[in-house]
Amino acid sequence: MGQNRKPDMYLITQDFPYGHGEDSFVAPEYPYLCEYFHVSVVAAEIKPKDEPAAQENVTQTGGSGEGVEACIIPTKQSATEKLVSMLCFLANKDCYRELVSILKSGEKIPQRVYRALMFGTAAETFYRRLKKKLHLTKDTRALFYFYWFDYKCFGLTMHRRRFPQIKIVARTHGYELYDERELYGKQFFKPQTDEGLTRLIFAAQSAREYYLSRYGLTGGEKYPLYRLGVPERGVTGESRREGYREGGEFLLLSCSSGFVKRIDRVIDGLAAVTSAKVRWVHIGGGEDLEKMRKLADEKLGGRDNIQYEFTGKMCNLEVVTYYRTHYVGCLITTTQSEGGSPVAVQEALSFGVPVIATAVGELQRMVDGNGVLISEDPTTQETASAIEKMAQCYGTDAYFQMCERSLDIFKENFNARRNFSAAAKELSRVWRT
């Protein structure tokens, strides 16, 4: 490495910069990492059949892909490769530590054993492919930054001792943190992975508290809190007032995918709204999209006071454009779990949009005088009442005070420049020490 060359960082993602799944939170952080490191991105969850399209999409991520040094590690395993990886994993002491933990739990033992073996096999495969792709040796000097605290991270930490000059850092979010988000109610290999980490970064205080409590840890500098963030949008309280049009429709927006977000709860709530006119727009894809369309047709179709639209999946740039070209009255999320500060809510705050949200995770800190916080498991009537409350105050002084408060919360907690700059400086310090 030349005297003036930045240290090497390998940023391990799912599909960034080739796809759109992570462009709302990885893309904003990427430039700040580049200030301190020579960053090479490894996209590790692109299926072989998607590789040609992925290669074409690398410069189509709203500018985030331009100039990004990146490569793909495909996920599909051949039968031979899977067998070799499993045999190698079975020879690792971490495997037996996890199996003992499962047996001691006394719950869902066959399912959890199977899941653990598949997790470990996938981890071993990823490690072997990573080692080959990056030509890793005992002389490799680099910081590995895993954007997810999952099997990929475990794969490298399993073999950490082979690479004495590397450091490993991971972020954790939700699906790879909470036990209830895992198929059989248990996250796998967390203590083993933790042992190989230099830092584990949390995006929310509630997530950090859960993790430390769950695994009996005392905290310290190994477990810092660095929230995600979104860029400033140039929106002010005054511009929100000026953009409002008397008699205009109350646009209720939701932006999510996946069962954990419980879009059906939004539909049920809207079906119980009787004293307000609402136009609901849902942004998001996922395997449940058609099911949600049919449910909306069944429960909302023919209602004079409710209009609805499903846009399908949008990339982050398209979502931002939607906010700029539509006057969104309120964002709603009925998610059942959050490991961080959801970017969809951060985007709403940055545009001065009030929020209806369930009282889970960091959402309890994101909705404070700028909307309505409903219970963790809200009833249909509770959701309906929250929607009606926001629709009825729309355009009033009370509403614009909520808009101002949304902007204040954004500035205080979710400014991308401040948050990602601080995280990048910490990673630089970690490397130097």
User: DSSP letters of 305-363?
Assistant: TEEEEEEE---HHHHHHHHHHS---EEEE--S--SS--HHHHHHHHTT--EEEES-TTH
**pLDDT higher than 80, residue 260:** no
**pLDDT higher than 70, residue 259:** no
**pLDDT higher than 60, residue 62:** no
pTM equals 0.88
Quick one: 59 exposed, middle or buried, by C-beta within 10 A (0-12, 13-18, 19+)?
middle
Contact between 356 and 378 under an 8 Å Cβ cutoff? The reply is no
Long-range contacts of 209-217 (CB under 8 A, 24+ apart): 210/177, 210/178, 211/172, 211/177, 214/179, 215/190, 215/191
Mean pLDDT of 414-421: 96
List, in sequence order, every residue forming a beta bridge with 255; answer none if it has no partner.
283
**pLDDT higher than 90, residue 74:** no
Report pLDDT for 63. Answer: 39
As a whole number of angstroms, the distance between CA 428 and CA 8 comes to: 11
What count of Cα atoms within 13 Å lies in the side-chain half-sphere of residue 133?
Answer: 18
**pLDDT higher than 70, residue 41:** yes
- pLDDT bucket at 24, cuts 50 / 70 / 90: confident
Backbone angles phi, psi at 58, to 5 degrees: -60, -30
What count of Cα atoms within 13 Å lies in the side-chain half-sphere of residue 1?
Answer: 13
Report pLDDT for 289. Answer: 86
Task: Select the highest-mean-pLDDT range: 39-43, 285-289, 334-338.
Answer: 39-43
Domains and CATH numbers, the chain: 8-229+416-432 (3.40.50.2000), 237-413 (3.40.50.2000)
**pLDDT higher than 80, residue 194:** yes
Q: b/e per residue, 183-215, with b = 16+ CB within 10 A?
A: ebebbbbbebbbebbbbbbbbbebbbebbeeee
Residues near 1 by beta carbon (within 8 Å), at least 6 away in sequence: 7, 8, 141
**pLDDT higher than 60, residue 65:** no
What does the mean pLDDT of the chain come to? 91
As a whole number of angstroms, the distance between CA 71 and CA 74 comes to: 10
- pLDDT bucket at 239, cuts 50 / 70 / 90: very high
**pLDDT higher than 60, residue 285:** yes
Stated length of the chain: 433
Residues near 348 by beta carbon (within 8 Å), at least 6 away in sequence: 253, 323, 328, 331, 354, 355, 406
